[in-house]
């Protein structure tokens, strides 16, 4: 039996941009629309936006596509249609498919870091547990994007590897700090165990994405409680 990654999603802050079909139609963007690049798939022209606004609009469209079908990597054509622009206009702003993919990964990584930041209003134990759950849920909302990030990093893509390393460092520092707040002495062995646990979680999530044989709730429980199991091996007898 396999499980879909249907998990509760936090509301997306500021996601009030109009969807394709609801966009205001206006003058084509200077230097782009005159050549027909700004035309959407249905013959509609994209409204005039500043370059950074257009990039944000396209990335938010990519996010909606991911949420609608999280087990497929979004194609340029599908994202462009969702944003109400042509694939050519998308390439105009991102340069290539690889650069567009990196921008989507970068935006998702920023959201993960924001969502897993410790809630200082909670007790230390709950801070740690809620952060781990938030991380797992963020991955399950866009599993193929997470999979692509890990595989591109492992393949040596320098930009994705740097981004992945930064994400791991931020998350690891937060986990180690939360462990210390629980009254556990952070020895070199405990610190090493925390880094090792993060590698374990990554491989566990990657395996589940390829073969979801347990429920998302069981997956969350496994990732959450495995940290204590690993830490128990790093404490003195």
- Domain edge (last residue) among 95, 110, 145: 95
pLDDT tens string 69-120: 766 777 899 999 999 999 999 999 999 988 898 888 888 888 888 888 878 7
pLDDT: which is higher, 141 or 36: 141
Q: What pLDDT score was predicted for residue 35?
A: 37
Q: 189-220 burial string, b = 16+ CB within 10 Å, else e?
A: ebbebbeebbebbbeebbebbeebeebbeebb
d(Cα 208, Cα 211) in Å, to the nearest integer? 5
* Shared-domain flag, residues 19 and 108: no
pTM over 0.85: no
pLDDT tier at 9, thresholds 50, 70, 90: very low
- Mean pLDDT for 50-55 is 89
218 shares its domain with 149: yes
Residue 39 pairs in a beta bridge with: 45
Give the per-residue pLDDT at 70.
Answer: 66
Look at residue 44 and tell me whether its pLDDT is greater than 50. no
**DSSP code string of 116-178:** TS--TTS-HHHHHHHHHHHHHHHHHHSHHHHHHHHHHHHTT-HHHHHHHHHHHHHHHHHHHHH
Q: What is the mean pLDDT of residues 42-66?
A: 77
Residue 108: count other Cβ atoms within 10 Å of its Cβ.
Answer: 23
114 and 206 together in one domain: yes
pLDDT digits (tens, 9 = 90+) for 128-185: 899 899 899 988 888 878 888 888 788 878 888 888 888 888 889 989 999 998 899 9
Joined tokens for residue 170? 């931020």
Domain end point (choices 60, 95, 130)? 95
Lowest-confidence region among 17-21, 59-63, 79-83, 108-112: 17-21
SS3 state at 45? strand
Domain total in the chain: 2
Q: Which domain holds residue 78?
A: 1-95
Residues 39 and 123 in one domain: no
In a domain? residue 237: no
Quote the mean pLDDT of the chain: 79
CATH number at residue 118: 1.10.357.10
Report whether pLDDT(205) > 80: yes
**Domain-located, residue 180:** yes
Q: Please report the pLDDT score of residue 215 as a whole number.
A: 96
């Amino acid at each position: 039996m396999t499980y879909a990654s249907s998990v509760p999603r936090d509301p997306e802050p500021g996601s009030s941009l109009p969807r394709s079909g609801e966009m205001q139609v206006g003058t084509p963007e200077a230097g782009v629309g005159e050549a027909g690049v700004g035309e959407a798939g249905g013959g509609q022209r994209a409204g005039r936006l500043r370059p950074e606004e257009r990039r944000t609009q396209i990335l938010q469209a990519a996010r909606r596509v991911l949420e609608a079908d999280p087990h497929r990597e979004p194609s340029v054509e599908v994202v462009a249609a969702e944003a109400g622009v042509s694939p050519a206009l998308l390439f105009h702003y991102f340069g290539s498919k690889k650069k567009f993919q990196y921008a989507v990964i970068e935006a998702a990584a920023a959201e993960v870091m924001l969502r897993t930041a410790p809630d200082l209003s909670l007790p230390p134990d709950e801070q740690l547990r809620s952060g781990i759950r938030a991380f797992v849920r963020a991955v399950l909302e866009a599993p193929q994007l997470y999979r692509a990030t890990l595989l591109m990093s492992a393949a040596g893509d320098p930009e994705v590897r740097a981004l992945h390393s930064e994400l791991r460092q931020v998350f690891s520092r937060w986990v180690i700090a939360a462990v210390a707040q629980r009254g556990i002495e952070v020895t070199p062995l405990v610190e090493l165990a925390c880094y090792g646990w993060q590698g374990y979680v990554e491989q566990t999530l990657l395996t589940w994405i390829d073969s979801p044989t347990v429920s998302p709730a069981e997956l969350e429980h496994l990732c959450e409680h495995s940290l204590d199991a690993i830490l128990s091996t790093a404490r003195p007898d």
